[in-house]
Structure 1
Amino acid sequence: MKMKKYIVYSILGVALCGLITGCLPEKAETGLTYKGPAVVEVKNQTLGQLTAQLTARGIYTTTAQTDSSRTVLINSRPTDSILVQLVGPQSSSPIDINYTVRGTVPASAPVGTTLAVEGTNYNFRTVGARKVTFAPNTSQAYILVDIIPNSITTVGQQRILTIDITGNAQIAPSANYSKFLLMLRR
């Protein structure tokens, strides 16, 4: 009787495995391939890192970070980098992606936040540039923001820089991750 149970359970186990694997694509990796249009997005690459590591690098951790925002201390972080990702196929030649800077403080910004001023509070590397370049065969590039120390005089005061990725003629910005808020704080 026990032997009969083992045979029945074995047959059921094999049949269940066959049903489960029959639902998978022929090649498992084809299910993981992105098939949509190429887009670019901005991300907070420091999200999820330990507070002690972030504080040591001049990232203010008392306020919440999100996928698309970060607060940095102007006298502790000389340069900040904003990750730009290509979602889609890589190219064997460089890809230039454009971005703009908003001239208004978002309604979601904390009360008392004012606009950061290029040349006074920060500079882009390269100064005046409004593009980031993906090197050939890569999916990541960085917008570099050089922060001007002592450009905010009052402790606790902050300025906001909002960057919008606009893409180029072939690659559009992601609908969900097209803007990044960089808060500069004294």
Structure 2
Amino acid sequence: MRKALSYILGFGAMVLSLTSCFENPSWTYEGPTVAEFSNPRRGFATQPTNNVANGVRTRTVRQGIGRDSILVQLVGPQRPVATTINYNIDPTSTAVEGTHYQIVGTKGQVTIPPNSSVGYLVVRFLPGIPATAPTTQTVTLVTTLATSTDINPSENYKTFTFTVRN
């Protein structure tokens, strides 16, 4: 019994002494400040009306949704002044501005308010696909974050695609 107790105590002392060898993880992001698209509706079991499907960097909507928005997130410390994040509409988009969609606000820019980490790219979807068209007829609106003064886009989350259907 005494031998078993000494083994248990020895093992316990060894476990406790080895824990000091592990580095303390930091839960604070310490990399460069970047901007990224984020889809807060991703993973929900139920979706809002006219919101057909969601992914990490995609969303499928019906044109009847009217307005929709995608979150632009600042990854890094918040700033005491408004931060402007630039974006481009990718030329591979099949959606036509004025026919299928309209940007609400300043085209090509999203503003993140002071002391905040999020801004929104707001899009108004227009009835550009004929009502008689099959649901398989879609157009895509591809947006890509661009480098802004001192903020680069996150390589993994710099592109977001809206797929619009009837």
TM-score by length of 1: 0.80
> Deviation of residue 171 (structure 1)?
0.4
The sequence identity of aligned pairs, in percent, is: 32
Give secondary structure in 2 for the equivalent of 1:93: coil
| Structure 2 unaligned residues grouped into runs of 5+ | none
**2:134 is matched with which residue?**
155
> Deviation of residue 4 (structure 1)?
3.4
Give secondary structure in 1 for the equivalent of 2:52: coil
**1:40 is matched with which residue?**
35
Give secondary structure in 1 for the equivalent of 2:146: strand
* Cα distance per residue 1:119-175 (max 9 Å; x no partner): 21111111x521111111111111111112x32111311111010111311101111
**1:92 is matched with which residue?**
80
The structure whose residues are more often strand, as a share, is: 2
For the aligned residue pairs, the C-alpha RMSD in angstroms reads 1.7
The letter for the 2-side match of 1:48 is G
| Alignment equivalent of 1:67, drawn from 52, 56, 62 | 56
**1:173 is matched with which residue?**
153
The letter for the 1-side match of 2:32 is P
Tell me, yes or no, if the aligned pair for 2:103 and 2:124 is still in contact at 8 Å. yes
TM-score by length of 2: 0.89
**1:20 is matched with which residue?**
19
- Say if 1:96 and 1:73 are closer, same or farther in 2 by CA, change over 3 A: same
> Deviation of residue 17 (structure 1)?
2.5
Partners of 1:90 and 1:58 in 2: CA distance: 34
The letter for the 1-side match of 2:90 is R
Partners of 2:87 and 2:162 in 1: CA distance: 14
Tell me, yes or no, if the aligned pair for 2:43 and 2:55 is still in contact at 8 Å. no
Give secondary structure in 2 for the equivalent of 1:8: helix
> Deviation of residue 185 (structure 1)?
0.6
Q: How does 1:61-140 map to 2 (within 5 A)?
A: 61=53, 65-75=54-64, 77-105=65-93, 115-126=94-105, 129-140=107-118
> Deviation of residue 97 (structure 1)?
0.5
> Deviation of residue 41 (structure 1)?
0.8
Q: How many residues align?
A: 163
| Structure 1 unaligned residues grouped into runs of 5+ | 106-114
User: Structure 1 runs of 4+ off > 2 angstroms?
Assistant: none
**2:9 is matched with which residue?**
10
The letter for the 2-side match of 1:74 is Q
Partners of 2:49 and 2:113 in 1: CA distance: 26
* Cα distance per residue 1:90-120 (max 9 Å; x no partner): 1011101111111224xxxxxxxxx111121
* Cα distance per residue 1:27-51 (max 9 Å; x no partner): x5xx22222211111122211111x
